[in-house]
Structure 1
Amino acid sequence: MTEQQIADVLDIELNELKKNQSVIAAYRAAIRKGRAKGEAEIRLVLYRRAKEGDTGAYRELLRREKKQGGD
């Protein structure tokens, strides 16, 4: 999701946030942290499924790992 989409879901006026540097910085930090936590949860589930023999989960885990390495 984009910053704007997240702001819309949270019913936050993004343009108002952008007027205050410290507030927008905190908003962006919270988004980064939330995305990282979400990714960690997804990877944990994929790892557990891959350990049980789910080859689709294993492929997805590898794809995400490759994608992260390209950042």
Structure 2
Amino acid sequence: MDKQLLLQSCDKADAEWIELCLWIRKQEFARCQIDVSLKNARLVSSTHSALSRDHGAGKLPVGVRHAMSKH
């Protein structure tokens, strides 16, 4: 159902409650996106650390070593 239509069909107290619920939902969605971004950043960081460690130990295939040496 369209948000405006829903709000028009409610009394003022219900409309305020719906607005509050929608606001909370938007905040939770934004927080969830931030959590996912942080997890991805940690994954990239730990992957890069592992690659750097293995690169230093000479354990990576030649193509990967070549790509790592460019960074």
TM-score (norm 1): 0.51
Name which one, 1 or 2, has greater alpha-carbon Rg. 2
**Selected match of 2:37 from 40, 46, 66:** 46
Corresponding position of 1:30: 21
Identity of aligned residues (%): 9
Higher relative contact order (CA 8 A, sep 6+): 1
* Structural mapping, 1:2-13, within 5 Å: 7-8=1-2, 13=6
Give the gaps of 5 or more residues in structure 1.
1-6, 55-71
**Aligned partner of residue 13 in structure 1, secondary structure:** helix
Shift of 1:51: 1.8
Cα deviation, residue 50, structure 1: 1.3
Segments ≥4 residues shifted beyond 3 Å: none
| Partner residue in 2 for 1:64 | none
How many residues are aligned here?
A: 44
| Structure 2 residue ranges without an equivalent (≥5) | 46-71
| Aligned CA-pair RMSD | 2.2
Deviation at 1:41, TM superposition (A): 0.7
